[in-house]
Structures are given as structure tokens and as C-alpha cells.
Amino acid sequence: AQTVTQSQPEMSVQEAETVTLSCTYDTSESDYYLFWYKQPPSRQMILVIRQEAYKQQNATENRFSVNFQKAAKSFSLKISDSQLGDAAMYFCAYRSSFQGNQFYFGTGTSLTVIP
């Protein structure tokens, strides 16, 4: 099974500053999807951003962007201009491109935003 590793259990950032959350994964496949999900205290997981492995261009969604390094199997999330509402647990996830495969999640990074 694929494994997803988030080595930072907790991170903090000053409001309006930039923070980067790390994620690495282990796979023998060449085609797959990577995701970052946010889980606020309300518990509902919300998709933040998605990257397709065959695309070299890093995905961006407003203040959120990723640094996808396929050879290194690294997929970090950068949050720019951090806002208080960004405080949450962030989960990195992997999914094979073959239909029928499950999503694999990391253990999460708890992000605190300091006013």
C-alpha cells in the first residue's frame, strides 16, 4: 500500500505571513493524484488543492500553492498571506489514477495562525 508521511505534527505562522507544510509519499506508480485537505474544528474535511502527477506545472488556488517534486516524491503546501481562518488540521492525500483505488491520507499537520 502507498504511504503518505507528514513529518510536522504542528506548525504555526504569524497572520499575513507565509507557511509551508511538508508531505512525502511512497509509490511505485507513475500516474496518480495528490491532494491537500483542510479539517477545521467543525470537522468537515474540505479540499484545498489537487495536483495531477503527469502535470509538471504546480497547482495554485488563490493563496494556496504546491511544490510538487515527482522524483523526490514530495508535495508541499504553501499558504501565503495566512489568515486566522486558515487555522486547521491539514492532511495530505494520495490516490492512484487507476479507478477503484482508495485515497491514502497522512497523519496531518495542525496549523496555528497567530494574530
Partner 1 sequence: DTGVSQDPRHKITKRGQNVTFRCDPISEHNRLYWYRQTLGQGPEFLTYFQNEAQLEKSRLLSDRFSAERPKGSFSTLEIQRTEQGDSAMYLCASSLIGAGGGEKLFFGSGTQLSVL
Q: Rule CB under 8 A: which residues touch partner 1? A: 4, 9, 33, 35, 37, 42-47, 50, 52, 91, 93, 95, 97, 99-100, 102-108
Nearer to partner 1, 73 or 95 (CB): 95
Question: Which of 52, 64 has the CB closer to partner 1?
Answer: 52
25-33 — which CB contacts under 8 Å span 24+ positions?
Answer: 25/73, 25/75, 25/92, 25/94, 25/104, 26/2, 26/73, 27/2, 27/73, 27/94, 27/96, 29/2, 29/96, 29/97, 31/96, 31/97, 32/94, 32/95, 32/96, 32/97, 33/94, 33/95, 33/96, 33/97
CB of 106 to partner 1, least distance (A): 5
Q: Which is nearer to partner 1, 50 or 73 (CB)?
A: 50
